[in-house]
Chains A and B, each alone.
Chain A
C-alpha cells in the first residue's frame, strides 16, 4: 500500500571508459524495515548498485545512469551523495578509509556538525549512535588505537548519527574475523527491528541469510533477479553454477560431498623454527615469547584476531624485523628476505611494473634472466596457465581476484622454499578464493613449506593444517584443526568461529566429522579443490 522505501526499476549504469554496462537492467524494491541481501560474482556491479543508491554515482563518480531509482521518495541521481545525507547512511568494507577525526566521539560529532545542528543535538545524537553499537566506553579513545572490528562499528555508528531511513553496507565484514562479524550482524538485526531499511552486499552469505527478507542476485551480465531467500536462489540457479560464478554458497547447499584431502603431512626436518620470539615496537609488544615450527613441505596456519601479531610474525620469518629477541631459523639459517616468498595482503604493495607480463618478468629477472628473455618466459607462463589475455593488462586495472593470482604467480616464480601467505583470500569472491586454495594445495604438493595467516575459517576446514592460535602476541593454541574445534573456550580470544554448517556438524557429530564433511561439500562446489 505505502510506497516502497527503495525503488529500483531497470537501472542501467555505464562507466565512461568501460565497454558495455556495469549494470544492465536491475530492478527490485524494499519496504520499510526490510532487509535486502545483494549477492553476485565480483565485478557484477554490486558496489555500483550501492553507490548509485547512495547518490555517489553520478555526483562523485562519473557514470551514465539510466532507469528509475528512488530512495525514500528522493532521487539519488539528482540530489547527490551529500544531498541524501540524513536519509541514507553508507558503510564500506575498509574501516581504515572511513574515519577522519582523531577520537571516537569527534567522529560521532562529525555528521551532526556538518549539517549545522545545534551543539546539544549533535552531542545527543552522537552519544545515542555510539550506544547503539556499544562503543560508549570508547568515546575518548583515539580511533587509531581501536581494533578493526571496533573501527567498523564506529563506521556504522557514524552512519547512524543522522538517523537515516536506509542503511547501505558494502561487504561490511570483509576485513573482520567471523566472531566480530556476527556481532555486527547482531547490531544490523537490531536496526532492522527498529524499522530501518537495510541493503547489504555480503559474501559471507550465512551471516545475513536469516535476517534477509529478499535476495537480489546480480548476474555477471549486470541483470538481476529477486528471490525470497538463498535457498530459493540455489534451488533455481543451482549451487555449482553459482559457485562457479564466484557467489559464496554455504556448503550445506552443495548437492554432494567429495572426499580426498589436501595432504599437508608433517615433513622432514624443520624448515621454520621459532623459539621464544619477542618483538617490541617502542612501548608496544607485538609478539611475546612465541614459538612455532614447520617441517619441510608442511602447511601451518596462524589464526588470531586483528592486532594479535600475525603479520609481525610473518615479517619476522621474512627477515624484515630488525630487532627481536629469541631465535628464528628459516631454511637452516637466520631469516632473510631472499629466502622466502611473501604474498602480501594488499597485492598492490608488491607490484613494481605496469603490465602483468612485465610484473612476472621482474620476478624472473631477479633470478638472473635478462630483460627480453624474462618477458618471453613470462608470457609463456601466463599462456600455460590459461591467463594469456591478461598479459598486457595493467596490473592496477585488474579485479581483486586477478591481482591476487598475479601476486601469487610472481612469488612462485622466485622458486623459494618457504612461503608466507598473509590473508591470501582477503577480499576475494568464492571463485578466486577456491583458486587460491588450489594454488596453496599445489604448493604443498610440490613440497614447499607454507605458513598461512588467515581469519577465513572455511579455508582452514578445506586445508586442514596444523594451527597456531595467536592472541595479543602470545601463542594460546597449538594443534590441528580438530583439536581447535574441541576447545570452544579459546574461540573468543582467537576471533574464531566455524561457519554455521560446520558448527552444526560439530555439535551433531563431533570434530572429525565436521572437518571431513564440511570440506567434502566445499569440494563438491569447486572441482579444483579436489587433490
Chain B
C-alpha cells in the first residue's frame, strides 16, 4: 500500500533530503578542491571530464525512488546545502540546482518514469548539461579563451561526464547495493531488483 503510485511519501521525501546533504558535501569538496586541481592538471579544455559529479544530486535519489519530482528536488536541495555551507558561487548555485534538476527530471519524464536501464540513466545524467554548459559559458564566460572547435570538445565533455558519472556510475552503485542487501528494499529500486510486487 505504501509507496505505490506517483505521489511522494514522506519517507521518500526525507530520503531525498538526507541524501542531498551527503551529495551537497561531495559537491562542496568537488567545487573547492577538485575543480581547481583539474584545471591546473588537465588544462581547461579537459576539465569538464569531472563535471558529472555535480549532477548526481538529481540522479541518485531519482534512481532509488523512481517517482516524479525527485530529481528536481534532490538537485535543488544539494544546492541549498552548498549555499548554506558557503560555496563561493552561492548566488548562482540555487539557479543551477533548480535548472539542472529540471533537465534531469525532463529526461526521466520523457520515459514516463518507467525506463531505468543504462541508456535512460545515461540520458538522465547527461541532461543537466543542457543547462550547465550554456550557463557556464554565458554567465561565467568560461569558454572565452577557447576556439570554436575546442568549445565543441569542451561542451561535449559535459554531456559525456554527466552520462558516465551521474548516469552509469550511479546506476551501477545503486544496483549493487539494492541487489546485495536489504537496505533499499522499501524503495522502488529494491522492489524492482528483487522482483517484489508493489
Contacts and interface: CB of A to CB of B under 8 A. Distances in A.
A82 B9 CA distance: 12
A59 interface: yes
B2 A59 contact: yes
Interface in A46-90: 58-62, 82
Given A60-B2, A61-B186, A62-B3, A394 B196 contact: no
Nearest to B180: A354
A388 B149 CA distance: 63
A58 B1 contact: yes
Nearest to B18: A97
Given A16-B196, A17-B196, A62 B183 contact: no
B35 to A, nearest CB: 26
Contact of B2 (A61, A82, A354, A394): A61
A17 B3 CA distance: 15
A504 to B, nearest CB: 45
A216 B183 CA distance: 31
A60 B2 CA distance: 6
B1 A397 contact: no
A17 B9 contact: no
Given A17-B185, A59-B1, A394 B180 contact: yes
A390 to B, nearest CB: 15
Interface residues of A, number: 12
Given A16-B196, A17-B196, A62 B181 contact: no
Contact of A60 (B11, B180, B181): B11
| B: interface residue count bin | 10 to 19
A60 B1 contact: no
Contacts of A324: none
Contacts of B9: 60
Interface string A1-25: 0000000000000001100000000
In this complex, which of A16, A17, A62, A354 has the most chain B Cβ atoms within 10 angstroms of its Cβ? Answer: A62
A396 B1 CA distance: 25
B153 to A, nearest CB: 39
Interface in B158-183: 180-183
Contacts of B182: 17, 394, 396-397
A354 B177 CA distance: 9
A499 B100 CA distance: 57
Nearest to B17: A100
B10 interface: yes
A403 B1 CA distance: 31
A60 B196 CA distance: 17
A527 to B, nearest CB: 34
Nearest to A63: B2
Contacts of B186: 61-62
A354 to B, nearest CB: 6
Nearest to B196: A16
Contacts of A62: 1-3, 186
A336 to B, nearest CB: 26
B133 to A, nearest CB: 36
A397 B181 contact: yes
B185 A60 contact: no
A240 to B, nearest CB: 34
A58 B2 contact: yes
Nearest first, the 5 closest Cβ-Cβ pairs linking A and B are: A62-B2, A394-B181, A397-B182, A396-B181, A354-B180
Interface of A: 16-17, 58-62, 82, 354, 394, 396-397
